[in-house]
Structures are given as C-alpha cells and as structure tokens.
Amino acid sequence: MSKQEHNPDGLPRREFLRRSVSLVGAAGAGLVVASAHAAGDPVAPAPAMPEGEAGYRESEHVKHYYRMADF
C-alpha cells in the first residue's frame, strides 16, 4: 500500500474531519451551558385578577379589528 502524501496547501481529510467533530462538540456544549444559564431563574406567575374582571375584553377597537380581518 502506498502512503498518502499530505497536501501542503490545506489540511488532510482526516484532520479536517477530526477538527470538524471537535468544533461541533464544542458548539453543542456551549448551547447546553447557554440554555442552563437561561433557564436559571423561574418566571413568576402573573398576579391573579380581582373577582368580577375578565381577562379578555372585546372592546370596540377589537370588534373593528375582527370586522376588518374578516373573522
């Protein structure tokens, strides 16, 4: 069998693949760290509305929007 000669202009194929795999692994680890950091503080629940008040109000401008949007 003949030995492969390394191309002086660029990386050999195997070295390129090794570096690609390590870069993908590093990027994945970075995403895991970033998502763990983002999920660190839980979001506080919205305060409850007083009794007698509805959360959704169909006011005149909402009705106008529905008419214009053809709902």
The answer, yes or no, to whether residue 24 has pLDDT greater than 80, is yes
- Three-class secondary structure of residue 19 per DSSP: helix
- Token pair recorded at residue 25: 């692994």
pLDDT band at 9 (very low <50, low <70, confident <90, very high): low
Give the separation between CA 39 and CA 32, rounded to whole angstroms.
11
pLDDT digits (tens, 9 = 90+) for 25-64: 888 887 777 766 666 666 677 777 667 666 777 889 989 9
Closest by Cα among 42, 44, 45, 71 to 58: 71
The predicted structure's pLDDT at residue 39 = 62
How far apart, in whole angstroms, are the C-alpha atoms of residue 10 and residue 62? 63
The C-alpha atoms of residue 22 and residue 30 are separated, in whole angstroms, by: 12
